[in-house]
Amino acid sequence: MVNLTIDGIKVSVPEGSTILQAAKEVGIKIPTLCYHPDQSVKANCRVCVCEVEGNRLLQAACSTPVTEGMVVKTRTPKVIEARRTILELILSNHPQDCLNCPRNGNCELQTLAEEYFIRDIPFEHKVRGLAKDTSTPAIVRDPDKCILCRRCIEACSVTQSVYALGLEDRGHEAMVVPTMGKSLMDSPCAMCGQCIHACPVGAITENEQLDELLAAIADPDKIVVTQIAPAVRLAIAEEVGMKPGEMPMDVFVAGLRQVGFDYVLHTNFTADLTIIEEGNELLKRLNEGGVLPMFTSCSPGWINFCETYYPDLLDHLSTCKSPQQMFGALVKTYWAEKMGIDPAKIYSVSIMPCTAKKYEATRPEMQDSGYRDVDLVLTTREIGRLFRMSGIDFTKLEGAPFDSWMGKYTGAGVIFGATGGVMEAALRTVYEVVTKEELKDVNFTAVRGMEGIKEAEVDLKGTVVKVAVAHGLSNARKLMDQVREGKSPYHFIEIMACPGGCIGGGGQPITKSNAQRQVRIDAIYAEDESCEIRKSHENSEVKILYDEFLHEPLGHKSHELLHTHYHPKNKKYL
């Protein structure tokens, strides 16, 4: 342990700690911009400077290791003055356009400008006037707002191993650009949106489409039907000032009705359906010597990544569409028929924790219902905005049930939202289908949690199935390279593009650390525990769907509506 004094307070911290970490121990907050708790130290913004006795120059707290007997002062006039100048310099090259900015109210730079009492900036205001990048349907980059902290580059390169972002030029000319200075669409970007969470400011956001929803709600000829993904409920609470998981499902549904959705249904329903289709696909591959290991296919960021970097391994991907797209294909066929509604009038909106889903819905192959299966994808953040705009007080709102036929779900559908959840849900079903025995303990805890790659073995009465789970694309890459080398010991692999799974998706409330992801994961398993039915094949509405419409898993109708195929992306700028 190392002993030091910070602002007169004595503290002992492990060797190798930084001043920033030591200060946190004793409850002293030092401002940061380029620092990110889950990333390497960058020390390029200098806003965290402090006085260290014996040093003439101010030291960056995020990168200076503590030493025995060190005396640190974090709030002297000299320190405050320096930090204010640093902020003023950053702001002198910044649009300062908070009122029109998606991060208004949730921006690290804005917060510091407020805390440091920035008023009249003495430097000339010079903005570069760089164009926005709107080349993808999912992610928008606004490079003028970039403060060059490089957190997005690390998210994209280290966490995701996509390498879509890098630096161009240096000094005053430096900027963050997609590969080779091209558009994001030309880069290998998987549209996972992890760079959005990494960005301290509004330089990267989702493609905001709330206006399209409002237009559809206003249109009397449109019947607006929505599906909610499992990870959304856990996090939507954070958008309206509650704790993760605190928004009861029925109150969330009531809120959606208040803002004008005509029917509220649940993606969990098709999550359960995915398990039936995907479980049967796995068994078929196991029994008939099909391509193994089989990869899950519900994470569209992962699909983009696989099509970009592993086009040779596409036949390992389950042909199952993601739950969003299964839902889209069914709502304008099965559901429309059951409800007696003209599918041409249905405007299908999905509420997702994900930015890549915005892209997925626009894929040309996703029109199997005869229409665009999903008309609009909104993120959790966008729905949060809609709720705040509508002024709903969720503490006073009475709950409401889901609508029929595609609203029922089980605990297995719920856990789709966390890393390991699809695997666990599949195992619950596959076990019972194969062994014809009831699964006594439905909890496969080995595949839960934030560890990057998890593995397990399940004995299906003699057949041992080896499974692995990866979240974050750099972890996926490790398992993929193993497959490419012919050394993968697994039969079935679940991959989620985002760290923590969908609860950490690119469309979720701005997520500043992995610790926050863990809190949402805990909330998901608590919801699973509280579900009466926790196995997908026991979902009564899914049973009705098979009886009346699909007839059998992997059958003719399923192939038509619920399965898809993949294409190598042949990106030039990898």
Partner 1 sequence: MKGYKEIIASYADVPGGIIEAYHAVQKELSYLPEEAIFEAAKVFNIPVSEAYGVATFYSMFSVKPRGKNVIRICESAPCHVAGAAEVVAALERELGICMGESTPDGLFALEFTECVGQCQATPVITINGKPYLNVSPAKVPKILAEYK
Active-site residue, 189 included = no
Instruction: Tell me whether residue 199 is one of the annotated catalytic residues.
Output: no
Q: Which is nearer to partner 1, 245 or 301 (CB)?
A: 301
Name the residue among 187, 196, 185 with its Cα closest to residue 168.
Answer: 187
Cα separations in angstroms, 531 against 9, 256, 442: 49, 22, 12
Question: Which tokens sit at 168?
Answer: 């161009």
- The DSSP string of 86-145 is HHHHHHHTS---GGG-TTTTS-HHHHHHHHTT--S--S------PPPB--SSSEEE-GGG
- Least Å distance between CB 46 and ligand FES? 5
Task: State yes or no: residue 35 binds ligand FES (CB under 6 A).
Answer: yes
Q: Does 181 bind partner 1 (CB under 8 A)?
A: yes
Residue 573 interacts with which of ligand FES, ligand SF4, partner 1, none, CB < 5 to 8 Å by class: partner 1
Q: Are strands 2-6 and 70-73 parallel, antiparallel or unpaired?
A: parallel
Task: Provide the mask over 60-99, with x wherever binding to ligand FES is found by CB under 6 A and - wherever it is not.
Answer: x-x-------------------------------------
**Pick from 38, 41, 87: which is nearest to 63 by CA?**
41
Interface stretch with partner 1, choices 70-78, 125-133, 176-184, 206-214 (CB under 8 A): 176-184
d(C-alpha 103, C-alpha 106), whole Å: 5
Choices 165-173, 259-267, 370-378, 503-511; region in contact with partner 1 by CB under 8 A = 165-173
Count residues near ligand FES (CB under 6 A): 12
Query: Is residue 472 at the binding interface for ligand SF4, with CB under 6 A as the rule?
Result: no
Contact range with partner 1 by CB under 8 A, out of 168-176, 326-334, 393-401, 405-413: 168-176
Per-residue b or e along 262-279, where b marks 16 or more CB atoms closer than 10 Å to that residue's CB = bbbbbbbbbbbbbbbbbb
Helix and strand counts by DSSP (H, E) for the chain:
20, 17
> How many CA atoms are closer than 13 Å to the CA of 114, on its beta-carbon side?
9
Residue 494, class by beta-carbon neighbours within 10 Å (0-12 exposed, 13-18 middle, 19+ buried)?
Answer: buried
- Please select the residue that binds partner 1; options are 47, 155, 164, 256, rule is CB under 8 A: 164
360 as an active site residue: the answer is yes
Task: Select the residue interacting with partner 1 from 74, 84, 149, 163 (CB under 8 A).
Answer: 163
Q: Does 192 bind ligand SF4 (CB under 6 A)?
A: yes
d(CA 428, CA 442): 6
Beta strands in 179-222 (DSSP E): 204-206
Tell me whether residue 365 is one of the annotated catalytic residues: yes
Site of tokens 């707290």:
61
Number of residues assigned to the chain: 574
> Among 71, 167, 215, 526, which residue sits at the site for partner 1 (rule: CB under 8 A)?
167
Catalytic-labelled residue, pool 320, 348, 502, 571: 502
Catalytic residue among 149, 298, 306, 498: 298
Nearer to partner 1, 157 or 518 (CB): 157
Q: Where are the alpha helices (DSSP H) in 129-243?
A: 151-154, 194-198, 210-218, 230-239
Q: Which does 157 bind (CB under 5 to 8 A by kind): ligand SF4, partner 1, ligand FES, none?
A: partner 1
Catalytic residue among 17, 318, 322, 558: 318
In the numeric block, the tokens 């599918």 are attached to 343
CA-closest candidate to residue 353, choices 438, 268, 288 = 268
Q: Is 318 a catalytic residue?
A: yes
Please state the closest distance from residue 110 (CB atom) to ligand SF4, in A: 4
Q: Which two tokens stand for residue 59?
A: 């030291």
Report if residue 447 touches ligand FES, rule: CB under 6 A. no
Give the interface segment with partner 1, choosing from 136-144, 172-180, 272-280, 361-369 (CB under 8 A). 172-180
227: contact with partner 1 by CB under 8 A: no
Which of 175, 194, 91 minimizes the C-alpha distance to 133?
175
Decide if residue 574 touches partner 1 (CB under 8 A): yes
| Residue 94 binding ligand SF4, by CB under 6 A | yes
The answer to whether 33 contacts ligand FES (rule: CB under 6 A) is yes
170 binds partner 1 (CB under 8 A): yes
Is residue 110 a contact point for ligand SF4 (CB under 6 A)?
yes
- Total residues interacting with partner 1, rule: CB under 8 A: 17
Residue 375's CB is within 10 A of a number of other CB atoms, namely 20
Say which DSSP state 292 is in: S
Nearest 5°: phi and psi at 431? -55, -50
Task: Mark whether 457 is an active-site residue.
Answer: no
Closest CA to 281 of 268, 300, 302, 296: 296
Query: Which residues are bridge partners to 70 per DSSP?
Result: 4
Structure tokens at 307: 């099509």
- Choose the binding region for ligand SF4 from 162-170, 286-294, 309-317, 399-407 (rule: CB under 6 A): 162-170
Shortest Cβ 141–ligand SF4 spacing (Å): 7
For the CB of residue 15, give the shortest distance to ligand FES in the complex, in Å: 20
| Contact flag: residue 201 with ligand SF4 (CB under 6 A) | yes
Give the closest residue to 534 by CA, choosing from 352, 272, 316: 272
Among 31, 95, 504, 507, binds ligand SF4 (CB under 6 A): 95
40 is catalytic: no
Residue 442 to residue 440: CA distance in whole angstroms: 6
Whole-angstrom distance, CA of residue 264 vs CA of residue 256: 7
Determine whether 281 is an active site residue: yes
**Is the CB of 71 or the CB of 180 nearer to partner 1?**
180
Tokens of 37: 């708790």
Active site residues: 278, 281, 298, 318, 357, 360, 365, 502
Contact positions vs ligand SF4 (CB under 6 A): 94-98, 101, 103-104, 107, 109-110, 139, 145-152, 155-156, 160, 162, 164-165, 176, 189-195, 198-204
Chain residues in the site for partner 1 (CB under 8 A): 157, 163-170, 177-181, 187, 573-574
Residues of this chain that bind ligand FES (CB under 6 A): 32-35, 43-48, 60, 62
